[in-house]
């Protein structure tokens, strides 16, 4: 992936608020608590990952599994498989 695109994506993620994740969760029929949203944003914003490095994305996904509900993790996994695998 183009480095500029990755920087833009990371910038957009840095601008997200937990309420945004709650809204996006609702779009997928998922109830996300404010605390879960805040923790997942902190994880994604502070972790070192790259869209070109599948291992870093897998690590991020496994860390997210420890933070969110099993239902939320299932949706994250499905989205990961659909858009990033």
pLDDT of residue 84: 80
Mean pLDDT of the chain: 91
Q: Domain range for residue 79?
A: 3-83
The C-alpha atoms of residue 16 and residue 14 are separated, in whole angstroms, by 6
Residue 8's pLDDT is what? 93
Please report, for residues 7, 21, 45, 46, the alpha-carbon distance to residue 13 in angstroms, rounded to integers and kept in the order given: 10, 10, 7, 11
Supply the pTM of this predicted model.
0.84
- Number of domains the chain is built from: 1
């Amino acid at each position: 992936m183009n480095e500029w695109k990755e920087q833009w994506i990371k910038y957009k993620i840095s601008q997200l608020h937990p309420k945004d994740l709650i809204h996006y969760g609702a779009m997928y029929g998922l109830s996300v608590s404010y605390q879960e949203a805040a923790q997942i944003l902190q994880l994604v914003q502070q972790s070192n990952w790259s869209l070109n490095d599948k291992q870093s994305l897998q690590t991020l996904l496994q860390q997210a599994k420890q933070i969110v509900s099993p239902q939320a993790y299932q949706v994250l996994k499905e989205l990961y498989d659909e858009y990033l695998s």
